[in-house]
Homo-oligomer: A and B are copies of this chain.
């Protein structure tokens, strides 16, 4: 990382803290990272959405996953269009290509959507689901993601999920949870299944 960038990030952090300092603790949104190799990173973010909706909060989700995979979570939260804004990366794109430039453009467009929601002040909670995977593939940079999250409205919490969260992103977060897996003899043969894993 360049010194120039380091300076920039320090400034972003300082601005973020100044903005947060004006709020009481209960009003302050948090930045949370769910990472690790085990299950539960995305599902616990969806559980937090359920909690937020129970308190009549407003939620935005950007899913950084490819393709037209139908998931239980999307089908469920789509029932609440006034309460949950849901965007899946690459909507309107064709994913049949092996075109890295296209992938990057799709990830950047999705993150721009997330940033717009985070800055708007209209949301209590934003979930950037599997964004760490987009970072791992270098579709997005840790610098851009960190800056975007720190520039969010003070009332808004954000959860970033996915394995291999970059150190810079974890350093900027208020809380980092690591989901691990305790190995188990029966585990090997078990396939992902509807209603549990997706």
DSSP majority for the A interface?
mixed
Q: Is the CB of B182 within 8 A of A51?
A: no
A:59-103 near B, CB below 8 Å: 71-77
A179 to chain B, nearest CB (A): 6
Q: Which of B26, B30, B184 contacts A175 (CB 8 A)?
A: B184
* Chain B residues in 8 Å Cβ range of A42: 47
**Closest B residue by C-beta to A45:** B47
* Chain B residues in 8 Å Cβ range of A75: 54-55
* Chain B residues in 8 Å Cβ range of A46: 46-47, 50-51
Instruction: Give the interface segment out of A2-10, A33-41, A109-117, A136-144.
Output: A33-41
Q: Is A11 an interface position by the 8 A CB rule?
A: no
* Chain B residues in 8 Å Cβ range of A176: 181-182, 184
State in angstroms the CA–CA spacing of A44 and B51 once bound together: 11
A:146-164 near B, CB below 8 Å: 157
Q: List 22 A-B contacts (CB under 8 A).
A: A38-B178, A39-B177, A43-B45, A44-B47, A46-B46, A46-B51, A47-B47, A47-B73, A49-B50, A50-B73, A54-B71, A54-B72, A54-B76, A55-B72, A57-B194, A57-B195, A157-B196, A170-B182, A173-B184, A175-B184, A179-B179, A180-B180
